[in-house]
Amino acid sequence: MKRDTIEKPIFYATIIVTLLVIIPMIINPEGANSLMNSAFGKLMNNFGWAYLWFAVMALIVCMYIAFSKYGNIRLGDPDEKPQHSTFSWVAMLLCAGIGSSLLYWSSIEWAYYFMSPPYGAEPFSVAAADWATSYGLFHWGVSAWAMYTLPTIPIAYVYWVRRNPSMKLSTACSGVIGEERANGWLGKAIDIFFIFGLMGGCGTSIGLGTPMITAGLNSLFGIPKSFAVDLIIIICWCLVIGLSLYRGLEKGLKQLSTLNLKMAIFVLLFVLLVGPTFFILNTMSDGLGHMFQNFAKMSFWTDSVGGSGFPQGWTVFYWAWWIVVAPFMGIWVAKISKGRTLKELILAEIVWGSLGCWMSYSVLGNYALHLEINNIVPITEIIANQSTYDAICAMLLNLPMGKVILFMFVSTMFIFLSTTMDSAAFTTALVASKDLEFGEDPVKWYRVFWGFLLAALPIALLFSGGALRALQTSSAVA
């Protein structure tokens, strides 16, 4: 007789809470946007300092654990061997953590800082360029990855060392709220809000990825931007996600992540070697130096006197989103880290995660900056008059074999989003399951169901006009 492993209270409550939240957003997206933006603005302005301090403390705590005696704790038996090769392991944690957003923002984020720089710098000046090449590295660097890593530590320890078969956020919180509360209504509420927040996080990736792929197809093949094209892209995504989830961790997610990382490395190496190589390398050095020189300043700055709103609109907002996605990353990375020590786990996330993001920002962002300041491609003008997606396409088409590399870029984004949604659905199925034996995965149909739900919900809101933004903001507020 098959066991019922579906955690029905979490399953049904998540559906009900989600419907109660999104139905008003679909009916009145403008009103929902206004309400959520107002709440989020007050949260950022009044408690932005707390987000900044949390990021710093997360980095300090992670480094302490890594280099203390606790860093030698092995996840599993004392002589346990790593479950996955280092390359596959790093590929799975990277592809889950960054998604298609990395390729998008690393290509274009610098332009916003160049046009509207912080600290009173003159727009389009040398000082603006210094901040443009360093702030993206900061936002996707060690502080951000430390926030990903922090929840991974207790989740991995409870699961692999104490061998608690329940891989849920509520279980990891049992040391703080008590085991009775973790298994009761409070624990279920934590898991429900985790899933709801993850839906908003997935919505961000879909909201960025779909228009970028549509713009790429338009530039490559002249396919018009339309609802039908978006729908076809989404259907293809769902098919890839469903197949990968059905095949499981080893045959699906692992292979897809490994392929994804290899494709991303190829794109970056191509741009580096074929583009303005020495400018990219020199500007990368400048950006890293500028970031490390101003790391403390960037970490604590709220601009309470100047009131520019820059740290709230960028750093605090980024930190809020890293925190929203952090529990998902904690569960996912813990699941794939059998046989690793806590030190290996912490350094892999913070060091490899940061290096991967820095490489993408340095290559794509600095190449685009080179085009802008040398009047080769007016990136900022295209952003102002057309869209960021058109600017990215124009940037890549300027390369030798531009259409080939744009196709590779779009394909990599497609797979990046697939791996992110795969790991998110796998994690959600774990959280919404019960009575799983140690090391057991959720049933196949349940994994596939969550994959389709995580993809379909933001898409429905995206096409309703403005409601997706409200969902993203509300999940961060929650």
Chain CA centroid to CA 277, Å: 28
According to DSSP, residue 399 is labeled: S
Residue 467's pLDDT is what?
Answer: 52
Say whether pTM exceeds 0.85. Answer: yes
Q: Encoding tokens for residue 41?
A: 């603005």
Distance CA 458, CA 464 (A): 10
Q: Encoding tokens for residue 4?
A: 């019922």
User: What pLDDT band is residue 51 in, cutting at 50, 70 and 90?
Assistant: very high
If one compares 205 and 2, the residue with the highest pLDDT of the two is: 205
Residue 1's pLDDT is what?
Answer: 44
- Could you tell me which residues are beta bridge partners of residue 6? 433
**How far is the CA of 237 from the CAs of 122, 207, 350, 437, in angstroms?**
43, 13, 29, 31
If one compares 373 and 169, the residue with the highest pLDDT of the two is: 373
> Which of 1-15, 160-174, 456-470 has the largest mean confidence?
160-174
User: What pLDDT band is residue 451 in, cutting at 50, 70 and 90?
Assistant: confident
Residue 11's pLDDT is what?
Answer: 85
Burial (Cβ within 10 Å: 0-12, 13-18, ≥19) of residue 44: buried
Question: CB neighbours of 408 closer than 8 A, spacing ≥ 6?
Answer: 263, 266, 267, 270
Domain map (residue ranges) of the chain: 8-477
The helix/strand count (H/E) of the chain reads as: 23, 0
List own/partner pairs for 125-133 with CB under 8 A and 24 or more apart.
Answer: 129/369, 129/373, 130/286, 130/287, 130/290, 131/290, 132/365, 132/369, 133/283, 133/284, 133/286, 133/287, 133/290, 133/365, 133/366, 133/369
Beta-carbon count within 10 A of 387 CB: 16
Q: Encoding tokens for residue 335?
A: 């699941």
CATH of span 8-477? 1.20.1740
Residue-wise pLDDT tens digits, 199-226? 777 766 777 778 888 888 888 888 888 7
CA angle, residues 235, 461, 23, in degrees to nearest 5? 130
Residue type, 6: I
Question: CB neighbours of 308 closer than 8 A, spacing ≥ 6?
Answer: 118
Residue-wise pLDDT tens digits, 253-312? 778 888 888 999 999 999 999 999 999 999 999 999 999 999 999 999 999 999 899 999
User: What pLDDT band is residue 182 in, cutting at 50, 70 and 90?
Assistant: confident
pLDDT at 345 over 80: yes
- Could you tell me which residues are beta bridge partners of residue 74? 341
